[in-house]
Amino acid sequence: MKAHATEEQVHAVCERIESLGYRAHAIPGAQRTAIGITGNKGAFEPGTLEEMSGVQEVIQVSKPYKLVSRDVKEDDTVIRFTGSDASFGGRDLGIVAGPCSIESREQAFTIAERIAKAGARFFRGGAYKPRTSPYAFQGMGEDGLRIMAEIRDRFGLRIITEALDEESLHLVADYTDVIQIGARNMQNFSLLKKVGRLRKPVMLKRGMAATLEEFLMAAEYILSEGNYEVILCERGVRTFADHTRNTLDLSIVPAVQRLSHLPIVVDPSHGTGKRNKVTPLSRAAVAVGADGLMIEVHHDPDHALSDGIQSIFPNQFDELMNQIRQIAAILHRNVQEPKIQEPKTQPAVAKAGR
Ligand code: PEP
Ligand code: MN
């Protein structure tokens, strides 16, 4: 649509598209609204669409992914959160930090306080864990979600947690600000369709052996159902290299940014699996232009119930934030300063008899 197209014009174009038997996806951008059209079997016949008021042009998208592509929406998608200055995809980097798993209230609060004091705006933590062994800690379930919700209230952090399956999805969605879809579920198409029907941001992690096209097609599943708020996450892929848990593929960041308007963040914790490599690869991720980072932090990693060996200490996270703040500035990006929310004081109780 043209930059100044009105809401009525957008609506009229969507109605025309739907009346032709297609699905219309109005995706607002900073400059203008793009309307993606899906559901066409062969070439789309634009008819008189191009003549409707407010329409700039009708473009045929030849790529297999459409709604995620820059052909449909040129400007970057920025995902914002009401009541918070947290975002993904804008000038500010989206910094996510926290433990691999929520283990207890005390553990989660201790870590959340430290990462908030360092300037992170998002707290991560698994309540439902995809573990290689069925005998390993599987997560606290709903109790873990409740703890995360308390952390949002106490520290003003937005929270991110994984939905492991369709069964836990709605419960997770009730509590969280961002739904994480893990690497092992990147091609769980029925789960992708289900999160696509929700109206809540989704962080989609790259599958362990997924190509760029497969990664974008997985995101397309979510957008095709009407949820346009997807954050991609590079978390390393399997290669023959065995000095790290996975091989962090930083080259996918500019590759994604060339093709797609969606934000992409980097997870150097799962990407390397080694505490001593998390900070260097975080610096590199910011330098390569990532829209954010996802970092596992634990105050007592030797006793962590999952991923202790790749979790950094809170003081290492402080230093990491200092370093990436300087790197981001060179690229005219920004790592936000801490904004500490004071604990809510109990409302004064009116004295009886007055
Ligand atoms: C996680 O973030 O803790 C996780 C399990 O990640 P991934 O799906 O990338 O392995
Ligand atoms: Mn983990």
Q: pLDDT digit of tens for each residue in the chain (354 aa)?
A: 999 999 999 999 999 999 989 999 999 888 899 999 998 887 777 778 999 999 999 998 888 999 999 999 999 999 999 999 999 999 999 999 999 999 999 999 999 999 999 999 999 999 999 999 999 999 999 999 999 999 999 999 999 999 999 999 999 999 999 999 999 999 999 999 999 999 999 999 999 999 999 999 999 999 999 999 999 999 999 999 999 999 999 999 999 999 999 999 999 999 999 999 999 999 999 999 999 999 999 999 999 999 999 999 999 999 999 999 999 999 999 999 998 778 876 665 555 544
**Could you tell me which of 213, 297, 214, 223 has the C-alpha nearest to residue 259?**
213
Q: Which residue's alpha carbon is at the smallest distance from atom 4 of ligand 1?
A: 182
What residue type is assigned to position 288 of the chain? V
How far, in Å, is the centroid of ligand 2 from the Cα of 2?
A: 44
DSSP letters spanning 22-60? -EEEEE--SS--EEEEE--SSS---TTGGGSTT------
Q: Is the dihedral of CA 191, 196, 199, 204 positive or negative?
A: positive
Q: Which residue's alpha carbon is at the smallest distance from atom 6 of ligand 1?
A: 182
Looking at the CA of 298, which ligand is closest?
Answer: 2
Which residues, other chains included, contact 195 with Cβ-Cβ below 8 Å and sequence gap of 6+?
Answer: 163, 169, 179, 181, 202, 222, 227
Straight-line distance from the first to the last Cα atom of the chain, in angstroms, rounded to the nearest whole number:
61
Rounded Cα–Cα distance for residues 261 and 256 (Å):
8
Rounded Cα–Cα distance for residues 277 and 233 (Å):
18
Looking at the CA of 307, which ligand is closest?
Answer: 2
In the block, residue with structure tokens 């232009």: 289
Pocket mutation for ligand 1, best pick of 96, 100, 188, 246 (most atoms within 8 Å of C-beta): 100
The CA-CA-CA angle for residues 256, 258, 260, to 5°, reads: 60
Pocket mutation for ligand 1, best pick of 124, 180, 234 (most atoms within 8 Å of C-beta): 180
